[in-house]
Amino acid sequence: MKVSHEVPLAYLKDSLIYNDYDYLLPHLYDQYEEYKEFFLNSKSSNRYIIMDNSLHELGSAYDTSRMLEIIEEVIPNEFIIPDVWENHTLSMRNAKHWSQIELPKGVTKVAVVQGKSLDEIIECYHVYKLLGYQKIAFSYGASYYNDLFPHPNKDQGKILGRIYVISKLISENIIQSSDRIHLLGCSLPQEFIAYKNIPQIETIDTSNPIMAAFEKTYYKPFGLESKPKIKIDEVFNSSFDPQIQEIILCNTIEFKLINDLK
């Protein structure tokens, strides 16, 4: 599993130390020239880039025409097509539309399963595969995870819910051995040790260790008990803080140790 942690602007250059690839949020690409230059440099340095659609940050996907322009500029290795939060019908409709849009050579389209129940997620997954999607993503925060796994700690319930869904889809051969999976975000960092022997899961993105650092929270050897409340947009343009940088470096190392990642 390759991991990327989204970081605020002042910490971007140092993220090359601990990130296996670079994760582009298109709304930030347009807001900050330094952010834009970072990704153009990443591309010229042959860094692997996954481009998101900014749904999680904005509440809805970024402007389609502008995202297509950014794709032409950066030519990311992967692009997470627009989805609609917890709406499997509209997400499948979007996936059908985007399956017909031609992107530059070498850009893999990634579709995110959405829904409010396991049945809707399974339907979504089947439709994406029928549409020809080579890689499919699972978000971290869906409310149905807590329905499937009603743990008293809702953050714990979310990680157990996603583990259950992915495990069930594999056991029923819905996720097949040749499938490729991306995991969007996490509630708690200790989730990913559960996927150690699941080769279908290729990539993870999460700002969790970074946002914990902004709350001055060091990871414990087991991870965390609750998800950091700060969101990256709230601190994205903050000044560099050596103390926060120290915690970031500790947390990103601990993240890999907790999950037995190289």
Q: In tens digits, what is the pLDDT along the chain, a chain of 262 residues?
A: 999 999 999 999 999 999 999 999 999 999 999 999 999 999 999 999 999 999 888 788 889 999 999 999 999 999 999 999 999 999 999 999 999 999 999 999 999 999 999 999 999 999 999 999 999 999 999 999 999 999 999 999 999 999 999 999 999 999 999 999 999 999 999 999 999 999 999 999 999 999 999 999 999 999 999 999 999 989 999 999 999 999 999 999 999 999 999 8
Rounded distance between C-alpha atoms, residue 60 and residue 43, angstroms: 26
pLDDT at position 56 is 80
pLDDT at position 61 is 87
Rounded distance between C-alpha atoms, residue 130 and residue 73, angstroms: 29
pTM: 0.95
pLDDT at position 55 is 84
Rounded distance between C-alpha atoms, residue 72 and residue 107, angstroms: 10
User: What's the number of domains the chain is made of?
Assistant: 1
pLDDT at position 196 is 93
Domain that holds residue 157: 2-258
The string of DSSP letters for 234-256 reads HHTTPPP-HHHHHHHHHHHHHHH
pLDDT at position 216 is 97
pLDDT at position 58 is 79
pLDDT at position 81 is 97
pLDDT at position 57 is 82
CATH number at residue 28: 3.20.20.105
Q: What does DSSP assign to residue 223?
A: B
